[in-house]
Amino acid sequence: MSIPAKILKQVLSRYSSPMTLKYPSGVDPSKKYSQIPEGLRGVPERDAEKCVGCRACFMVCSGRATRIIDLGDKRTISIFLFRCTYCAHCQESCPEEALKMTSKFEFTIGEREDKGAYVDTDLEMLRCKSCNTAFLPKKMEKRVFERLQEKMNPLVKEVVLSDYKKLEGYCPECRRARSTNFDTHTKKWLWLEVK
């Protein structure tokens, strides 16, 4: 076989099989390009049971994809996937480990209004006993107090717990206004005698 014929045969052999990879990607180890790489940061997913609505994800969102919407008795934490850069800062900052980046990276959404374009979590808000203003998610109040109790100094724990019970269910403004009536003070623990 002549050299030009060999070259022609080699060139034509390149076009005898498909030049593109199969889509969608799978996890078949026998196919070189089909694996989803380990540690891929795909669409974020929130565990609604763990989420307390603390706003940590909102504070660190570099793409401004996360929004907090407080409407009456409901707080909605929403991640807009069109803006999300999949940086995983929200996952790293979440104190309750409610957010995680999944391996799902393919999704088809045509419109901004499509529900699939958002990762939403709804939380019930706590209303103030005095002024009836919604001020905090119920789950957050409970979880914050549990975390504080874990690290509380045993010498002041009893006083802090009694003060907390008096002020529980009041918004910050009403707490401040009623602290003298309730016999509470933020520095009260300093006045306790340490034996």
Q: How many CA atoms lie within 13 A of 15 on its CB side?
A: 4
Q: So where are the chain's domains?
A: 37-125
Alpha carbon of 60 to those of 5, 90, 92, 136: distances in Å? 62, 6, 9, 20
Mean pLDDT of 106-118: 81
Phi, psi angle pair for 159, to nearest 5°: -70, -45
pTM for the structure as a whole? 0.70
pLDDT digits (tens, 9 = 90+) for 144-154: 888 888 888 88
Please give the Cα distance from 103 to 139 (Å, whole number). Answer: 28
pLDDT digits (tens, 9 = 90+) for 50-78: 999 999 999 999 889 999 999 989 999 99
Q: How many CA atoms lie within 13 A of 74 on its CB side?
A: 7
Beta strands 44-46; 74-80: pairing state = unpaired
User: What's the CATH code, domain 37-125?
Assistant: 3.30.70.3270
Calculate the CA 158 to chain-centre distance. 34
Band (pLDDT 50/70/90 cuts) for residue 10 is: confident
